[in-house]
Structure 1
């Protein structure tokens, strides 16, 4: 347009050389250029103002102040910021800011906040930087809220722009996000930890019996999708005869029953069963544990190999039994000790007290002669050998009855079974051997007495023991008289 005006002006200037048409055209064109430039600048400024106004909406307040004089102006203020009553302009920004901080900053944050609002602090914090930010709590409507404060150079090296933004909601959202993330990670770790206890986990739909199987591929519980199917129960019933020990098949079928699981898990958090899987002709103990998902829509069924656990338990019971046996054994002779006799006596007495007809039994009470003399003349080692010989003699004769060492030189035999029915023959054998040993001086000499349980007459085991003990002393006196 301007070039057209210049062209027309030159044409008329040639025709009318006496009139300054070109000069007038040049002035008009220049004015038009200037007008277009101003229009462009106004448009650019409008866009910049629009951008600035949109950005300002994100802040509670924006201040523009002279870093040296402290003179300031406020360019934005949100509705939420109005209750703080900060001045909209002033001559000393630092003074007004500190004064207002004393009233509005949360008490616990006051010293921290005011340390940033001196001229020296601002200069130091922003030196060599584009901006500097910090946050603290401001009391708004009697409630503490976190605010983010950012100051930056305005671009002229003399003024600073201070932005104030309420970030309470942002911090709360971030806190909730972090907490949820921690919960998610925690639950994930717990799930993995629990999963590591199993070799396989089945996720079974309660309503339609669809299932997905997961295999636990390492000790940390990481799961890999394995098999999937339309009917968990039917698949189990088909596999049980192929994989499960015959003695455990029926009990496992009863356990893997939808109605049974629903009934049990309505009143219990979990239910489990131990059974044996046969692989390569060898059985291995396995445990299946069933739980309901938190929403009740699925069964979570874990399968774990517990063969090592069961074997350890069996070994422990065996060791415990051995320990108990040792606790009932006489260390010197290897026969049962007084504790074992008391346990037996208590068991028999319990049956008698309850009116049960206890099996026919008898007690033989024995006492080793000459033990003190042997200890005094030949030493305790010889005495120990003599006691061991006494125990051996009793065990060799009463092979079907337990022998107890109930004192230093005292023994009791609990007659039962064949030994009971052959008691006269066996007692004669014992006494004949004792007489032979006493005659030759080459074997143990044991005084003995027998008491036979008499139902209806004997109310306590000790009644039987006392009869045997009385007879033993009579036999002892008889042996002494034969010397």
Structure 2
């Protein structure tokens, strides 16, 4: 009957820890080694308590199972050894840098655990520590004290360390060491009681009390402090960018201002009727500062209550409004966020000044437009409006990059050279020469409508045929050829040029320059034929 009662005590200790563990898990930080070490400790103690309950249940109901009882006793003492090491490990993590040579203490604790495991293994064949038989059930020898002192040497090390450290350090440090000393005091006292009365459940009671002290006075307190500090840091960081933060509770008809910039506070103090409720003050305040054109976005039917009610469907929403203060209009972003914890039927409203962002956007857009205009000017021939030499070089570089990447590139280069431009300039004047250039350029553009045309020299033009123009290159060249006119007489309104075309061949061409060189050769062949008044069609590639 006594063993059953002791088994009930062990189960009760385990249940107490099981109840406290979920509460701790709500607050613990998985990345914090202190919290992880405590979880390992408390889980191991729970298993130890259930093992103790099982041992006492076997002793009460199945005393004839001596082998099973002996094995359970061995596991019991081995688990106690591991518990002492886990206790020291948690203590060192908790105290952190305040303890020097922590690794040495861990090694000492491991050596003690190894000694205990060695003694338990030797006890299996020789029974020199404890034995279990049908006559006395469980019997301990004097040698058992060696095992007990090996276990409790770890706890004594922790206690002495805390007492020694309490002599110096800051008051905060002394409180930490005192807390850990009180935590380890319970298993030490109950351990010595267990030595006096081996069949009593002092072990499990001591472990349970020690873990509860840790949870109540150390972990819970530290977690609350840490959470409070983190929350304050987060609130301070977030509120630093807001000129106003207000908590709105529609059901209670309340609006509590958490932070207000001096300029907003001045308006609230001077223009808002103090006899109104806080929610009415918020409505009046928003109506005072927000421009009338933007007000319907946040105030409906004279109150922000209806605007806030939209949060029943959305977690948050953001509105961009203009605020006028001291005859100065500034841009603000108003964000309303629902209380996601659902502890209160309310929401948080914040006003964030984004005028600098708007100015940066305007400046960025202006710079972008200016850059676009500059790029267009830099890459355009001022006389004809087609691409210039710089634009042509950029295009050939892009084509070369595609070729080097192994992409399938299809293009042809048509090089055109105007005939007798110098004679037109010398005989008719440069204005007529410019007209001659523009008229021929217009022919090139109208023929190859879907391909870029470049003026790369005074009388030199290059067309890069791609896409549909590349597919129809033969027909387009025939059309271009049909538009050629005789050189004589020299007139500005003539369409007179020589042209040559070359296609890109990936088997023979290593670069765009190779294609251009062939097109240039065919152009000169065509120019000779024109001068000899030979048929043009024989000069194409």
Structures share fold, TM-score greater than 0.5 = no
User: TM-score scaled by structure 2?
Assistant: 0.37
Tell me which protein shows more helix as a share of its residues: 2
User: TM-score scaled by structure 1?
Assistant: 0.41
